[in-house]
Amino acid sequence: MIKKIFLAIIILISLTNSVNASTTSNYAEPVPTISKTYTEGFYKFDNKNDVDIGVTLITNTPTKIMILDENMNVQFISLIPYNTKFYLRNIAPKK
């Protein structure tokens, strides 16, 4: 479930701003808007500016999104609605 949340985060970030992402693999190709690349797991983004994240789920699988700070403290957690645009605005660096 947490892995799906981070998939949503990645899709949201890739839709609005250019950010660098790193995972345990060294995948460096651009991620398309609709992607199966980020399906499960934790992902770290080194954004230099505030970013806006937008997600639209295309399946009705219950999904949550969670944002953690650098110390792995929960900053935000929410369910994501199916087939409706979901936005997180002004995600600041180091938060």
**pLDDT tens profile 51-81:** 777 777 777 777 778 877 777 788 888 888 7
Q: Identify which of 3, 59, 54, 2 has the alpha carbon closest to the alpha carbon of residue 33.
A: 54
Is residue 41 a contact partner of residue 9, using CB atoms and an 8 Å limit? no
Is residue 6 a contact partner of residue 21, using CB atoms and an 8 Å limit? no
pTM greater than the 0.75 cutoff: no
- Condensed to tens digits (0 to 9), the pLDDT of residues 78-92 reads 888 777 787 878 877
Instruction: Tokens 């992402």: give the residue.
Output: 21
Question: Around Cβ 66, how many Cβ atoms within 10 Å?
Answer: 16
Q: Identify the bridge partners of residue 68 per DSSP, sorted by sequence position.
A: 74
pLDDT above 80 (res 39): no
